[in-house]
């Protein structure tokens, strides 16, 4: 059983990871020419570079050995990371950011259901309540920005659904096999698969040196590093708890757009964000008071 101290550290790691994830929107608004598939390619490419460097430093160069030790579970986890990386950006090329984020917000509910079905894990009432309140809050945040769902937009939202579904499956894998297999190299597999999948659609490349520098930063600090932190945090957090804490990304995205791109958040965003914060704080305060309880 993990100690209270380890649980607190894991919660902090998960929150930091979500904060780093949330920077994607405001950073991509600083790009000159790179768009869509090319953004995904460069971001995934640099994430792979970062993870290779981190693994070489941590494992003293034994990267290939770590990859060989992944096994089937690690490869599936890598495929889930790749699905998450690709589906998010593809969806944004077909539907609005608001529509995409609303679809992503179903991840905690999917994760709780999968944990219940596959891990036979009893989900505490407080977590179900927190998930419900957070979903209401996120729906409220983006209610004023949801556009009319055209045929193309509907397809985009269907593709976007691959991201929370893959994330939920990945959280389950991290809990089921994370104690036996080091799944950090699976992030490298995911980033590599994502870059290879997006490469054919990225031509002709239009990114300037300015764009490449920004995308390198995104690959290192918005994708590679936080994904590795999530794998580490999974050792002390339940799958539903990880998914719930990941909603910090959706909460902070509009805040960074406001501070960094001058997009003033609507009242709905502020009210919905307050609900999400309340849900997260409630869930974690109860968890700290009862560290041995189920999530």
pLDDT digits (tens, 9 = 90+) for 249-291: 877 877 787 787 776 666 776 677 778 778 777 776 776 565 5
Mean of all residue pLDDT scores within the chain: 83
Which residues does 113 contact at the CB level (< 8 Å), separation at least 6?
none
pTM above 0.95, yes or no: no
Distance CA 45, CA 20 (A): 18
Distance CA 78, CA 284 (A): 29
Distance CA 37, CA 43 (A): 10
C-alpha distance from residue 77 to each of 159, 168, 227, 275 (Å)? 19, 11, 12, 31
123 vs 204, which has greater pLDDT? Answer: 204
Average pLDDT of 216-241? 92
């Amino acid at each position: 059983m993990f100690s209270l101290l380890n649980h607190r550290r894991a919660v902090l790691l998960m929150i930091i990871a979500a904060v780093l994830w949330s920077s994607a929107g405001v950073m991509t608004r600083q790009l000159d020419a790179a768009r869509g598939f090319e953004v995904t390619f460069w971001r995934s490419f640099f994430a792979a570079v970062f993870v290779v460097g981190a693994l070489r430093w941590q494992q003293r160069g034994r990267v290939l050995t770590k990859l060989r030790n992944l096994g089937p579970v690690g490869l599936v986890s890598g495929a889930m990371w790749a699905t998450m990386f690709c589906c998010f950006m593809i969806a944004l090329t077909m539907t609005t950011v608001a529509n995409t984020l609303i679809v992503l917000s179903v991840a905690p509910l999917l994760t709780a259901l999968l944990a219940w079905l596959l891990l036979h894990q009893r989900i505490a009432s407080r977590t179900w309540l927190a998930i419900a309140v957070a979903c209401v809050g996120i729906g409220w945040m983006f209610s004023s920005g949801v556009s009319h769902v055209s045929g193309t937009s509907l397809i985009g939202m269907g593709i976007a659904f691959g991201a929370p579904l893959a994330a939920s499956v990945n959280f389950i894998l991290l809990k089921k096999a994370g104690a036996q297999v080091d799944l950090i190299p699976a992030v490298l597999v995911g980033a590599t698969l994502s870059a290879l999948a997006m490469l054919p659609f990225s031509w002709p490349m239009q990114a300037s040196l300015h764009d490449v520098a920004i995308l390198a930063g995104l690959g290192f600090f918005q994708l590679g590093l936080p994904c590795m932190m999530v794998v580490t945090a999974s050792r002390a957090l339940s799958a539903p708890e990880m998914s719930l804490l990941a909603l910090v990304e959706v909460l902070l995205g509009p805040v960074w757009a406001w501070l960094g791109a001058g997009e003033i958040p609507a009242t709905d965003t502020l009210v919905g964000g307050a609900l999400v914060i309340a849900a997260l704080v409630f869930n974690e305060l109860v968890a700290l008071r009862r560290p041995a309880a189920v999530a």
